[in-house]
Amino acid sequence: DVKVTQSSRYLVKRTGEKVFLECVQDMDHENMFWYRQDPGLGLRLIYFSYDVKMKEKGDIPEGYSVSREKKERFSLILESASTNQTSMYLCASTSGGAVIATNEKLFFGSGTQLSVL
Amino acid sequence: QKEVEQNSGPLSVPEGAIASLNCTYSDRVSQSFFWYRQYSGKSPELIMSIYSNGDKEDGRFTAQLNKASQYVSLLIRDSQPSDSATYLCALTGTASKLTFGTGTRLQVTL
């Protein structure tokens, strides 16, 4: 069965800490994505990657960076966590290269609920 | 104007009725459209995709697309309590990425 695994389900961090959120997929997918989901704001794209060492900014990249050293792993980094980064973070992957095809399905991880105090 | 607009709900329908969920979008060059279902505390899962005008049926679900009017809808026939969830509309536009609406919460009552 296909799987996208996020390292932590719940995470509590202090303001100013450097935070790493890890995501691993076992489907040999080219595309990987990081979203955050907030009540009333829906899913918003932070960064995505369509190949190893490639990254593209999404709609809300400020305060975040990413790393994709291996095809199966896509990491989201909060360089200096702030309280407004408290959110549910969802990783997703899909095949298809740089363009999402008509019926490409995003496979989501189970999410990481991050609280920054 | 938001790229993808959905009424947040909740939309309440009795069991066995048809639930109609609507989504409008602003980017005329949007190409592909998707409906994801998200149960509370869970991740979204794809239930329908549609890319050409008209209707597409899959079991109890029908997606409808009207590019001229820039809306896409999802009909759920014979609604069941297990259909109670948030339904997210999503689309691909000028950039090769998926943009989501904020979702409509559906409640199917007994």
Task: Check residue A92 and give its pLDDT.
Answer: 93
Which of A40, A101, A106 is nearest residue B46 as measured by Cβ atoms?
A106
Token pair 């050293």 is at which residue? A69
pLDDT confidence tier of residue A53, bands split at 50, 70 and 90: confident
B46-59 pLDDT, tens per residue? 999 998 999 999 99
Residues of A in contact with B96 (CB under 8 A): 50, 98-100
CA distance A83 to A117: 6
Please name the residue of chain A whose CA is at the shortest distance from the CA of residue B87: A42
Task: Check residue A23 and give its pLDDT.
Answer: 97
Query: What is the longest distance spanned by two Cα atoms in chain A?
Result: 41
Contact B98 A109 (CB under 8 A): no
Residue B75 in contact with residue B20, Cβ under 8 Å? yes
Q: How far is B69 from chain A (nearest CA, A)?
A: 20
Percent over 90 (pLDDT), chain A: 71
pLDDT reading at A102 higher than 60:
no
Q: Cβ of A88 under 8 Å from any chain B Cβ?
A: no
Q: How far is B61 from chain A (nearest CA, A)?
A: 16
Task: Check residue A1 and give its pLDDT.
Answer: 67
B14-49 pLDDT, tens per residue? 999 999 999 999 887 777 899 999 999 999 999 999
Contact B49 A105 (CB under 8 A): yes
Query: What is the longest distance spanned by two Cα atoms in chain B?
Result: 42
Please name the residue of chain A whose CA is at the shortest distance from the CA of residue B102: A42
pLDDT confidence tier of residue B79, bands split at 50, 70 and 90: very high
